[in-house]
Chains A and B, each alone.
Chain A
Amino acid sequence: MTPRLSRRAALAMAALLALPLPVAAETAPPLRVVTSFAIDSMNPWEDGFWMQEFGQAELLMQFREDGRHHPWLLERLENPEPTRWVMTLRAGLTFQNGKPVDAAAVLAAIEAARAHSASAKGAVPDGAIFAVTGPLELTVTTPAAWPELPGVLADESVFLILDAEAVAAVGEDWGRLVGAGIYTGPFAVTALDSARMEAVAYPGYWQGPPALPGLTLSFVPDPSARILAVQNDEADIALYPPLAARPMVEATPGVHFNIGALGTGGFTGYMNLRQGPLADPALRKAVLRAVDYREIAHDVFRGGLAQATSLYAANLPFALENYRTDLVEAAALLDAAGWVPGTNGTRQKDGTPLTLVLAIYPQQPDLAPLSAAVQAQLARVGIAAEIVSFDGINRALMEPANRWDIAMVSTGAAGWGRVQGFLENYLLPGARRNYGGYDNAEVSALVAELATEADTARRTAILHRIQTILWDEDPYAFSFNIHKGRVVVNDRYACYQPGFALYHISWQTAPCR
């Protein structure tokens, strides 16, 4: 530890001593985590989202592995009428600095976020009004229904619940928030520098005393160094290890490569309808049926990724199970579309071979084996494929001069259970991420309806219909896989499972018994 960190840590500890003192649990030593991204500052509007991931901050709602939103700091969230939501807080909540978390404090946090956070500004519809309607109750009224509110309240980049008064008091001298106990989570930040963050247990935590006395989060960009840190017993958990490291880790005593539950995104394919052969819907349907989703997940990535069964992860309540691999149907579709087998195994029409360009990008190393597998799978039905790598994939795909047919892009179709952003940005005509020029009038109408549709059953029906169109009628965007969390851990944390929705550390995180 650098001397500078020690001084800051000491000052922060002193500040916390003046508050309800976090008492370290005595059951285990502090947890040591290494992660790839640095937390640049205590600025809650730009860097605060990290705090939810490592047990410092909390949200009003939580998105869990069952694909649903559950009250977190809220006791309940009710939607008595489409344009009104009522939020009721749990009783007895406090910030780590001891101040009570009541409706007024939560309203102050929400309004401060709306004033300062770009993410919050973008998430709240125009005309939305948040108001205190009871000591522990807030009411949200909107001009039109706002069905995504539960997802917005569960999204770590929108409304972290913090002591807005304490935040305002420091101006932009964010370093003063170290040790200020502005959040409600089980671990309070006591030190932050460019190399690591330290936090200690908050004994007044509302769910009970945290199982660990504290944690140290070290920022180590190099993935090999993160794994070696666990191997050398300098860390307990290494986040974001590359899948390519799995065989090496599994062959090393004392370290484990743990694969977690389903995420909410994956590698998504986008087909180019502006140019090339995929303008033909029959060919697009054939491609979808030629991809072997089971093989990708279980053979190519050995379970490191989950099998795609629809556009959405299977744990989401609105996910259909409509994906299937059917080479016979794919061949029949190609035959009917006039693509006949050629002498070299590649289909052709009017002398033109059926060759598709798969676009990948270097920032996602897993795309190399994935694209090679898809190339081999398409060859089974007579579709040749070339793989082209673009640096800066988003811009490259929108550039007409670049030739590509299927773009493979890591996408979150339902991050924190929110579906609207993906649908609007990727599927609507003229949208900024509509790479392939998709324009389906029914899909556009359904997406618009979904934005203000409050009825859960109708929302599910809309999402089912969109998934059906994208598979059976007018294919465009499809999932190759669904991502899973992964970590490297030592023997003490061999039972640790990667957190869902980036919720890595909770009050119950502890070594294995």
Chain B
Amino acid sequence: MPLSTAPEREGRGLVRALLSRLAQAALAALGASLIVWLMLPLAPGDPVDMILSARRIEEPTAAQIAELRARFGLDLPFWRRYAHWLAGVVQGDLGLSWRTGAPVVGLLADRLPATLRLVGLGFVVSLAWSLALALVAARWAGRWPDRLVLAYTRVFAAIPAFVLALLVLQFVVVGLGLGRVLSGGAGLTLALAALVLGIDRAAGWTQLLRAALLAEMARGPADVARARGAPEGRILRVIALPAGLLPWLTAAGMSLGGLIAGAPVIETIFTWPGVGAELLAALSVRDVPVIQAFVLLAVLGYVGASFLVDSLALWLDPRLRDGGRP
């Protein structure tokens, strides 16, 4: 039997590692859904009460309450409800919204594309903005551009995204007359909402990349380049940046789930027709099937991003293929 060559062995290692990551991702999604199913009943407020109240039935009869409890399956043991939900998920059926009675899959199909556009653009804005700021800060470390960037990151890390969104609506949309408050899905609204979402996330990522770049600029390869007369800007771009990118990309990928989770509030303020308003309405009446669908979506987004980042790291750094992580 011929011995396998080094590239073949590396290829098999990469596939094995990717399959392992995929299995871990599936387990994470399953675990997260189970945790949410276990936790939701602990949330205050009876969903039946809340849904009847949303239908203006403030003083329901016992029969009305019993009917809804049976319809929602709340009279069944927890494990049966979870098993039923899981079986539906496997077949692509996320159940019916308790609030509207409409299929949750249809709701997601209607609204998810808008959310993905917002989150995708927000992610790109975050990456581009934090990369630009970190390069500026690292290039002029300790000087006024660096101090300015640091001040910016501290301020924006402390401002909640919804406050930033309201400020943009007040001063940019109303004050400057750019865009509309009631978006209706307009492109300018998408740009403004993505800017808010992106800038909010970029603060932390800028600090991370700046620190990584400064560390790389102080290591041996940069010193060697300096000794050979390379300018600082070139050292930053050619030596420090490639080495500092991996942990930054990893962190950005890992926090994509946070970006998805933060989108509903921004969507609501900008009246963006994504899943946000539906989720907030679902939360207000404990519409479990819709909440579960969103959690599943956020978990899959997080797990998917982690998987991509892991795959990228495995591809870039062969040392990680024996079970290590970046």
Contact = CB atoms under 8 A, between A and B. Distances in A.
Contacts of A232: 173-174, 180-181
A17 B46 CA distance: 45
Interface string B180-191: 111011000000
A264 B83 CA distance: 45
Interface string B160-200: 00000010011001100000111011000000000000000
B58 A415 contact: yes
Q: Which of B49, B58, B67, B180 has the most CB of A within 10 A?
A: B58
Interface in A43-63: 43, 46-47, 49
Interface stretch (B12-20, B98-106, B209-217, B248-256): B98-106
A43 B101 contact: yes
Interface stretch (A201-209, A219-227, A342-350, A444-452): A219-227
B64 A118 contact: yes
A392 B57 contact: no
B65 to A, nearest CB: 8
Classify chain A's interface size: 35 or more
A146 B189 CA distance: 54
Nearest to B180: A234
Interface string A1-45: 110000000000000000000000000000000100110110100
Contacts of A394: 45-46, 49
Nearest to B53: A394
Contacts of A1: 184
Contact of B182 (A46, A156, A220): A220
A390 B44 CA distance: 8
B9 interface: no
A113 B277 CA distance: 30
Contact of B273 (A2, A121, A395): A2
B143 interface: no
Given A118-B52, A194-B111, A221-B268, A2 B184 contact: yes
A275 interface: no
Contacts of A119: 55-57
B110 interface: yes
Interface in A363-412: 390-392, 394-396, 412
Interface string A208-248: 00000000001111101100110110110000000000000
Contacts of A222: 268-269, 271
Contacts of B173: 228, 232
Contact of B277 (A43, A219, A231): A219
B91 interface: no
B239 interface: no
A362 to B, nearest CB: 10
A484 to B, nearest CB: 19
Contacts of A46: 55, 101
A199 B41 CA distance: 40
B113 to A, nearest CB: 12
Contacts of A415: 58
Contacts of A224: 166, 169, 269
A251 B54 CA distance: 33
A1 B186 CA distance: 9
A391 B64 CA distance: 24
Contact of B57 (A157, A221, A390, A422): A157
Nearest to A230: B181
10 smallest A-B Cβ distances: which pairs?
A392-B44, A392-B45, A421-B59, A391-B44, A40-B100, A122-B61, A157-B56, A229-B181, A232-B174, A228-B181
Given A221-B268, A392-B46, 8 more contacts: A41-B100, A43-B101, A46-B55, A49-B55, A119-B57, A225-B181, A225-B269, A229-B182
Interface of B: 43-46, 49, 52, 54-61, 63-64, 67-68, 99-102, 110-111, 166, 169-170, 173-174, 180-182, 184-185, 268-271, 273, 277-278, 280-281
11 contacts: A2-B273, A41-B100, A41-B102, A194-B278, A219-B277, A220-B271, A221-B268, A228-B170, A234-B181, A391-B45, A424-B59
